[in-house]
Structures are given as C-alpha cells and as structure tokens.
Amino acid sequence: MEKIFSTTVHNLEETEHLAQIFAELVKNKGAFVCLYGDIGAGKTAFSRLCAKHLHVKEKVTSPSFVIINEYHSGDLPVYHFDLYRLEKEGVKTITDELTEYSKEGMLTLVEWAEFSDMELPFDRIEIKINYIDDTVRTFDFYALGDYNKKIVEDLKQQCC
C-alpha cells in the first residue's frame, strides 16, 4: 500500500481538525478505513471526531465488546468496528463481513483490522497512529485505489 503522507498533531484539537477535513472529503461517497496503533493511540478518538463532523448525533463509543457500532443519524451511514476481541476468541473469518461494509456511500472505520484473517480484498485507506507523548501523535496515511488516493492527497493539501 502506498504511503501518501505523515503529519504530526500536537493535541486533541489538531486531531479534530484533521478528522474534520477528512469527514468533509468522505461525506459524499464514503470510504473504508483501517486504523492501526497501540491501545491509547487515538483510533477511537479519530473515529469519534470523524462521526462528529459527519453530524452523527449519538455518542460514539468504542465498540470493543460488541465488535460493531452503527450510526445512521449523520450525513452518511457510519460503521465502526473494533476487531480486538476476534483474536482472543480465535475468530479469523471476518473478511466476507467486512467486504459488505466496503461499498460506496458509507464510512466504515475499523480498529485492529490486523486481527482479521487476511489481506483485505478491496480498496481502502489505512491510518497508522503513533503515540509520541501525552498529547502528541503522528498520523501516517496510506491509500489503495485512485479514489482513496485522491482523498488522502486532498487531505494532505488541506491539513498541512
């Protein structure tokens, strides 16, 4: 997968700014997004802030114990997965389910996508979040497919 750019945010407000621009870019056609990073990196925070700027009205919480939360009150349907429990439960066959959520017109955010069984068979955006200190994070953006590359290129232009 091609790395398009990296950016450093210094606090949660800057993460929100990044999420707001990202939300604007995906709000018409959606995207499938995998989020990587250690516990506490900010995968859920970024997802929550994206949903906020897509005008999702419900409180967005971590789907750790339910695997998926869905929100239908915003500009487009938002599906938020957390696959962390799959590893513990030995479930490795979620690729077909995820493929259902890779269609146009929805935003799907997947935390711990590395716990699904294999390389995902569709175009997507990958975001790697690295914890630097209490409030500082680096975000690395990767994209597969022309549409996703354009989104991430536009994000690069607009955010930094």
Query: Would you tell me which residues interact with ligand ADP (CB under 6 A)?
Result: 9, 11-12, 15, 37, 39-45, 62, 111, 135, 137
> Which residue number has the CB closest to ligand ADP?
42
Residue 74 touches which member of ligand ADP, Mg ion, none, C-beta under 5-8 Å by kind: none
Helix, strand, coil shares of the chain as percentages rounded to 5? 35, 30, 35
125 phi and psi, to 5 degrees? -110, 140
Query: Closest approach of Cβ 61 to ligand ADP, in Å?
Result: 10
Report the residue number, 84 or 101, with the smaller CB distance to Mg ion.
84
Report the residue number, 9 or 31, with the smaller CB distance to ligand ADP.
9
Beta bridge partners of 33: 109, 125
How many Cα atoms occupy the beta-carbon half-sphere of 121 within 13 Å? 7
* Nearest partner of 23 among 2, 1, 65, 51, judged by Cα: 51
Report the residue number, 50 or 76, with the smaller CB distance to ligand ADP.
50
Query: Closest approach of Cβ 43 to ligand ADP, in Å?
Result: 3
Report the residue number, 11 or 99, with the smaller CB distance to ligand ADP.
11
Distance CA 106, CA 89 (A): 28
Report the residue number, 44 or 148, with the smaller CB distance to Mg ion.
44
Asked if residue 37 lies in contact with residue 131, where contact means CB atoms within 8 angstroms, the answer is yes
Query: Closest approach of Cβ 19 to Mg ion, in Å?
Result: 14
Query: Closest approach of Cβ 7 to ligand ADP, in Å?
Result: 11
* Nearest partner of 11 among 60, 45, 51, 55, judged by Cα: 45
90 phi and psi, to 5 degrees? 70, 20
Interaction site with Mg ion (CB under 5 A)? 43-44, 62, 111
Residue 12 touches which member of ligand ADP, Mg ion, none, C-beta under 5-8 Å by kind: ligand ADP
